Amino acid sequence: MKFRATGWPAIEPGLKESYRCGRAACALAGRKPLPEHFHDWRKHVKDLWHYFCLLDPAWLAEARTYTDALELLGAHLGEDHDLFLLQQFVMEHCAGAANEVTALSKLITARQKDLRAAALKQGSRLYAEAPADICRRLENYWRDWHGK
């Protein structure tokens, strides 16, 4: 693969798209809280987190805090998905233990409710800026890092 740009112009389009997709996925998960929407959102959070990790030497403490918040958000969304898969597995393989399955299902549902509420709250903060605005701010960090 050959890149046509270098420096910030090589990074910015993908970062902006990653942020835009994550922002849209967050909004969709908030409007329609289905497991697949939260899982899709997690993929976008991880993509954006990878961008921030690659650029970490350039970041001020504020941006490193953002990277850490993305990691925590990804962990919440990952645990939510793991619980979804556990609940599916239990429903399919433990039909003979109805009382236990019901009790576990209630615990899973309660934990998912907490995780999703925390994720949506965190997501609303992390995705509050318009994609162009966050990219402009990040470009300023980039320029400061490179002395431009």
Residue of 110 and 92 predicted with greater confidence: 110
In this prediction, residue 21 carries a pLDDT of 98
CB 66 within 8 A of CB 33: no
In this prediction, residue 146 carries a pLDDT of 77
pLDDT in tens, 51-65: 988 887 666 777 788
Helices (H), the chain: 8-31, 35-54, 61-93, 98-126, 131-145
pLDDT in tens, 20-52: 999 999 999 999 999 999 999 999 999 999 998
CB 119 within 8 A of CB 38: yes
Give CB contacts under 8 A, 24+ apart, made by 63-71.
63/138, 63/141, 66/126, 69/122, 69/125, 69/126, 70/45, 70/126
Average pLDDT, the chain: 91
Residue 142 pLDDT > 60: yes
Residue 122 pLDDT > 70: yes
Residue 140 pLDDT > 90: no
